[in-house]
Structure 1
């Protein structure tokens, strides 16, 4: 099966551009908060926080705080998967004896964007 990447060019109005910028900021903050959670859990109690743990916490957070339910749940999970993928790559490089490159906090300028679930054509 062939995979393709599709890029869409958007021409948003000022209101839409503001909403998109807020959405991007939300995903960037979620990524950084989850990275901080993993680092703190390891430093304090030597406990690893998994993707599944953070998804369960996301569900509870979305229920309790409507501000966090602004973005689509699937796109928020993709942001969590992006962080999980960074940690998997880090541990793979450590195991292989390469320069590990620990996952970094992302500024808004260095954050690649939110993830949208792919839609498969029937």
Structure 2
């Protein structure tokens, strides 16, 4: 398992904004999960009109081959296959009149579908 922290790393495999970390930690706490061990899993799966889509879920602990990063107290788990597609991405949380939710800003994307739910690299 590869482990990095936001502090002191030259470039983390992914980045999480303070707003996204705060929201995810709040959700983890509301689920009664131990934030010292549990975390947010960010992954890529087949699907959507552009071919790939993002997925997120809470896991109680990382898998052995996960890259684990820590941002603002939030542990983030990414499996090696997903890292190929989302390395260098930023996870943000938007809360406004037009949209509310998590958003992945991925520099590897060549095209996205019209609704922004799926992508192609």
TM norm structure 1: 0.26
Compare the two structures and name the one with the higher strand fraction: 2
Compare the two structures and name the one with the higher helix fraction: 1
Q: Which of these two proteins has the greater Rg computed from alpha carbons?
A: 1
